[in-house]
Amino acid sequence: MTQTIVPSLRGKRVLVTGTASGIGAAIARAFGRQGCLVGLHYRGEPDRIHPVRADIEAAGGRTILLSADLGEPAQVSRMGQDFLAAAGGIDVLVNNAGGVEDYVDFLDMTEESWTRTMAVNAQAPLWLIRAVWPSMTAAKAGRIINISSAAVGYGGSARGIHYVAAKAALETMSKTLAKDGARHNILVNVVRPGLTDTGMHRKVAGYTDEQYAKRAALVPLGRAGRPEEVAAMVLHLASADGGFITGQIIAVSGGD
C-alpha cells in the first residue's frame, strides 16, 4: 500500500495501544511509514506483535514494545512511564485498544463483564493520558486521539450496552480534556470508526458472521470500512494539517 509522506510527522514519538491486529496495527504501521518512533502496546505473548514491528522497521520506522493488561490501572500507568523513559517524551498518544468480550442481552450481563468493559475502554485511556499529560504540558505540545465507535451516535444495542456506554464516557472525557489541554497546545480529538473489517466480531461471544453480514448491509456505502481508512484520519489529526482541530468527534463510518 502506498502512502503520502507527511513531513510534519517524521521523527514523532507515538504511543498506540492495541497494535497486535486490526485498526491498531493499521495505525501503528501508518505512523511507521512516516518515520516515527512507535510504541507498540500489546497484551499476551510478544509473538503477536512481531509482524507489525517488522513492517514498521522495514519501512524505516522505529519501535518500542510495551506489554500491559489495560484492565489493571497500575500496568497502564507503568506503560506510559516506560514509553516516556525510552522515547524521551511523547508527541502523539492514540488510545485505540478496546472491545468487548461478550455480546448478550443486558439482563444477562454480569457485573464482571460491565466492570472489565468500562476499565478497558474508558478507564485505561484516562489513566494513560494522566501518565503522559505532564510531559505534554511541559513541552507545550501534544496530540491525543481516542478511538471510539459509531455505535455511540445511535445508541448501540441492548447486547452491547456496556461497550457503547464506555465509549460514550471516552468521548465525554475527550471533550473535557480538549478544553483543558488547549492552553498547553495539547489537541484532543475522537475518531469514531463505523463497522470495520478487522475480524474482531469473531472474538465476541454471541456475535455471529450472519449478524455481521446483516450489519454491513446497513452501512449507507454498502460495505465495512478498512482499518487503513481509519488510520488515515488519525494521521491527519496528528499532523501539522490537524493543528487547528481539537475537541472534535469525527466519524469514519461510511455514512452511519
Where does 7-251 sit in CATH, by number? Answer: 3.40.50.720
Intra-chain end-to-end CA distance of the chain, in Å: 26
- The DSSP code for 21 is S
What confidence score (pLDDT) does residue 200 get? 63
* Concatenated DSSP letters of 49-67: THHHHHHHHHTT-EEEEEE
What confidence score (pLDDT) does residue 210 get? 83
What confidence score (pLDDT) does residue 209 get? 80
What confidence score (pLDDT) does residue 216 get? 86
Q: Please give the grid coordinates belonging to residue 105.
A: 442481552
What confidence score (pLDDT) does residue 249 get? 98
Burial call 138-164: b when 16+ CB within 10 Å, e when fewer = eeeebbbbbbbbbbbbeebeebbbbbb
What confidence score (pLDDT) does residue 2 get? 54
What confidence score (pLDDT) does residue 238 get? 98
Largest CA distance in the chain: 51
Catalytic residue IDs? 163
Q: Which residues lie closer than 8 Å to 207 by C-beta, 6 or more apart?
A: 103, 201
What confidence score (pLDDT) does residue 202 get? 62
Which residues of the chain are under the pLDDT cut of 50? 1
Tens of pLDDT, residue by residue over 71-102, are 999 999 999 999 999 999 999 999 999 988 78
Angle at 99 between CA 98 and CA 105, to 5 degrees: 145
- In Å, what is the CA distance from 161 to each residue of 24, 100, 218, 256? 23, 10, 20, 18
What confidence score (pLDDT) does residue 77 get? 97
Instruction: Please name the helix (run of DSSP H) or strand (run of DSSP E) that holds residue 189, with its range, or none.
Output: strand 186-193
